[in-house]
Amino acid sequence: MNRDVFIFSKGRLHRKNNTLYFADEHGKSQPLPVEQTENLHLFGQIDFNTSLLHILTQHDVRLHVYNYYGYYDGTYYPRNSQVSGYTKVQQSAHYLDLSKRLYLAKAFIQGAVHHMQRNLRKHGEESRSYVDTMASRAALLEEASSIAQVMGIEGQCRQIYYEGLPILVRNNFTWEHRSKRPPHNPLNALISFGNGLMYTTVVSELYKTALDPSISYLHEPSSKRFSLSLDVAEIFKPFLVDPLIFSLVNNRRIQEKHFKNDEGIVHLNDEGRKIFLAAYDEKMKSTFKHRKLNRMVSYRYLIRLESYKLIKHIIGDEKYKPFKAWW
């Protein structure tokens, strides 16, 4: 299995012959196994040139760039070999037909709500009121006749979920409300950082299929973003990212000392990012027995399977049902 490589130091990425090297700011150089790499994540200030991009293209490696605060900036993609004109036409048709678009938009929210309720249910009676209230809001999806209504219901469900967050986080991390731009406390910073990682993971998995990541159904397609990745990530953020955050905080692997506050913008420091990324990468590589496939699959591959299910739906092979953890 190919791996993800994370670089935090300042330095330079360069190609020498057919090998990829990273030289840090002190001039110390080390080779990177490009033939075993799937994604390169750059968190430090890294210089590189088109020669590097050529070798990444040859080995089908995606290059993800993050800003000073550790939040996703953009991606370099090698030429996509998974191209299907028929799939793209059908994908567009499902966006243009409101009833078809609504079906998929509602499905993404149903998957997200299932996993938010799953997180809360682990705390029994203490969280029952949140679970029941969320269920009553989610039931309104059946009658929703516009994307705006669907988004409104999603917002209500997520607000209820966030109100129950103090039950899920047992340490000294305070929680008032969700703040994104910028995160105003450590817990919000963790959610934003984790959600950004999930977005890049979904982008990478969509890239391996014939889906166009810019044609979406829940989120409005627009320039400068891969909005289908936002759609699919809705299912997996509460399933994979949130439990990881709760575990890191409740087991004190992530503490207050792992954050910085730069003029009101709270974000993980380098040590905190390394802890989070190591745990995230381990989770993505770990496997479970898939009930339908009857074999072991990784959580990363599970996201690609969701993409294949979307393809089957839009080309008329099999009706799409969002992934819902059954355990």
> Which residues define the annotated binding site for Mn(2+)?
154, 219, 234
3-class secondary-structure state, position 105: helix
Question: Which residue has tokens 């309104």?
Answer: 140
DSSP, residue by residue, 208-222: TSS--TT--SSSPP-
Query: Going by DSSP bridges, is the β-strand pair 37-42/29-32 parallel, antiparallel, or unpaired?
Result: unpaired
3-class secondary-structure state, position 315: coil
Q: What is the DSSP letter of 31?
A: E
For residue 233, how many other CB atoms are within 10 A of its CB? 24
Q: State how far the Cα of 131 lies from the Cα of 125, in Å rounded to an integer.
A: 10
Tokens representing residue 20 in the block:
């990829």
Name which of 18, 46, 43 is nearest 32 in CA terms.
Answer: 18
The number of C-alpha atoms within 13 Å of 169 and in the hemisphere containing its C-beta is: 26
158-182 burial, b for 16+ CB within 10 Å, e for fewer?
bebbbebbeebbeeebebeebeeeb
For residue 85, how many other CB atoms are within 10 A of its CB? 8
Q: State how far the Cα of 274 lies from the Cα of 258, in Å rounded to an integer.
A: 10
Name the phi and psi angles at 50, rounded to 5. Answer: -65, -25
Cα separations in angstroms, 26 against 31, 60, 91? 15, 29, 49
Binding residues: 154, 219, 234
